[in-house]
Amino acid sequence: MFEASTKIRVRYAETDQMDVVYHGNYAQYFEAARAEAIRELGFTYKDMEAMGVIMPIVELHVKFIRPAHYDDLLTIKTILKELPTDHRIEFSQEVYNEKEKLLTVGKVVLYFMNADTREKTVMPEQLKNKIAPFF
């Protein structure tokens, strides 16, 4: 299993008039946390795109348990439970506030895709070599 934690401070722009983070903004928190998780491995999603592999999101599932508020310093966990063997990769994501309360749980499914042909492909070797030792 591979797991990483990223801190994100809630912006005013991300709140709504219910005085909480707008639910649609968690997709951005998850995205930023996944990017940092990969960066910790010594690779970046940007590198992958430069190599011609993009990762469109094919599924997003979010359960909102408690609200996040303006200026909260959130901890976003990115968890990869299984090493992908084909074009599909599934991340679990969790959001905690500073009191370590679980606010949100998410599941995000992405595909590895060739940027030019938009055909499915597999995880680039450079990333696989970094991540395989965790499994």
Catalytic residues: 16
End-to-end CA distance of the chain: 5
User: Which residues touch 59 (CB under 8 Å, ≥6 apart)?
Assistant: 107, 108, 109
What is the number of residues in the chain? 135
Check binding of 120 to a second copy (CB under 8 A).
no
Q: Which stretch binds a second copy (CB under 8 A): 19-27, 84-92, 95-103, 123-131?
A: 19-27
- From CA 121, how far away is CA 59, in angstroms rounded? 17
Among 9, 7, 6, smallest CA distance to 71 is for 9
How many C-beta atoms lie closer than 10 Å to residue 103's C-beta?
A: 22
Choosing from 4, 5, 70, 87, the residue that interacts with a second copy (CB under 8 A) is: 70
Binding to a second copy (CB under 8 A) within 79-98 occurs at none
**Minimum CB distance to a second copy, residue 90 (Å):** 13
3-state secondary structure of 67: coil
Site string for a second copy, 50-69 (x = CB under 8 A): ----x-xxxxxxxxx--x--
**Minimum CB distance to a second copy, residue 80 (Å):** 18
Report the interface residues with a second copy, using CB under 8 A.
9, 11-13, 15-20, 22-28, 31-32, 35-36, 44-46, 49, 54, 56-64, 67, 70-71
